[in-house]
Amino acid sequence: MTAGVPVPLRGSVPTVLADRVLLQVGHRRSARYRDWVDFSHSGLVLTGQGALAKAGQLREEGFEAALVVDEARYTLAEATPQAPFPGIDDGPAPLFGEPLEHLMLAQLAFADVALTPTGYLPAGADQALEAAALQVARLGDPRVVFAVPMDAGWLYPGVLEYLADVLSTVPGPKAVMIGGRPDPRIAAAGLARLLELVPGTGVLRTGLGAFGGLALGAGFTAFGVDASMRQLLPPAAAPAPSGGGPGSPAVLFPELMNLFLGLTLAQRFDGDAPQCRCAHCQGEPLDRFLSMAQQVPAAGHNAAVLMEWVRQLHAVGTGARGAWWQDRCQKALDAYAVWNNRIGQKRGFTAWADLFAWAELTVGQQVPQAVG
pLDDT in tens, 127-182: 999 999 999 999 989 999 999 999 999 999 999 999 999 999 999 999 999 999 99
The answer, as to whether pTM is greater than 0.95, is no
The pLDDT tens digits of the residues spanning 305-363 come to: 999 999 999 999 988 999 999 999 999 999 999 999 999 988 899 999 999 999 999 76
Predicted pLDDT of residue 176: 98
Checking if the pLDDT of 20 tops 90, the result is yes
User: Which ranges in the chain belong to alpha helices (H)?
Assistant: 51-60, 99-108, 126-139, 159-168, 184-197, 209-215, 262-269, 295-314, 321-343, 353-360
Domain residue extents for the chain: 9-229, 250-360
Dist CA 50 CA 147 (whole Å): 18
pLDDT of res. 97: 60
Digit-coded pLDDT (tens) for 84-141: 999 886 556 655 567 899 999 999 999 999 999 999 999 999 999 999 999 999 998 9
Instruction: Please tell me the predicted confidence (pLDDT) of residue 98.
Output: 79
Which amino acid belongs to residue 117?
P
Predicted confidence at residue 152, as pLDDT, reads: 96
- Domain spanning 9-229, CATH class: alpha beta
